[in-house]
Amino acid sequence: MTAALSLFTRRTALGVSIGAITVIARGRAPLAAGSTERADLEAVFAENGVAGTFVLYDVATDHFTLINATRAEKRFVPASTFKIANTIIALETGVVKDENEIIPYGGQPQPFKTWEKDMSMREAIALSAVPIYQELARRIGLERYREWLPRLDFGNRQTGTIVDTFWLDGPLEISALEEARFVARLAQQKLDASIRSQSIARDIIRLESRDGKILYGKTGWRFSSAPNLGWWTGWVEQNGKISAFSLNIDMPAATDAPKRVAVGKTMLSKLGVL
């Protein structure tokens, strides 16, 4: 059995098995069960001048829709999408009281001026402020991360030896498929963590609400690679229905950063979710 097939056929943390196979506009055997490949939507990446993948996971049917399925199974560093898990770990370990406690940024120059101030996790999530979460990471420590990454079943679960960069430069890596499953469990509050911590993490990544649909999401940006890597991961909730998603793209230029959300919203729209 291939690694790709094994990824889908094993029992997951949601406690469900995988269903039927569907392939659209793809002239080869499907990579895995429980998935639909949409080669026609790869044009969205081409139209925006980027290479990438998009995964949509319908929780109710346990079904994936994949755009660029091969890349969807490839692991990359999570960058700031790890702030979702990091929020939960920080709360569970008690290194921060709540989402509104002010955390020092350290006083050092940062890539963005908006990062150069003390702030809460709620504000740090909105600004994707790395130094705030690095301070939390130093409080948490590697030993507790090595307990919590397996508990949350997050990617390859690797921390390496540097506590405040392992999600930015590696060795922690996760695939778009795994990210979609992770946030789907958070959306249902089915992670191995307290309901309080999961509720706070959900609340601070809530982005917008319209037409009965609530959008949750978090971007990520890996600077230490060429090209840079961009992420957007989250879910859409409507009348109890959860559609989790994860996108990653190559970003040759900083001007590509807005394409993470723009391409993601286009995909969600074309798939009838947003």
Q: State both tokens at 119.
A: 């702030």
**DSSP string computed for 6-67:** HHHHS--TTS------EEES-SS--SSSSEEEEGGGHHHHHHTT--EEEEEEETTTTEEEEE
Asked about 128 being catalytic, the answer comes back as no
Please give the DSSP secondary-structure letter assigned to residue 79. Answer: G
Please give the DSSP secondary-structure letter assigned to residue 256. Answer: G
List CB contacts of 166: < 8 A, sequence separation 6 or more: 145, 158, 159, 160, 172
In whole angstroms, what is the distance from residue 250 CA to residue 177 CA?
17
- Containing 210, the helix (H) or strand (E) segment is strand 206-210
Q: How far apart are the first and last CA of the chain?
A: 36
**Set 6, 17, 35, 80: catalytic member:** 80
Q: Which sequence positions are flagged as catalytic? A: 80
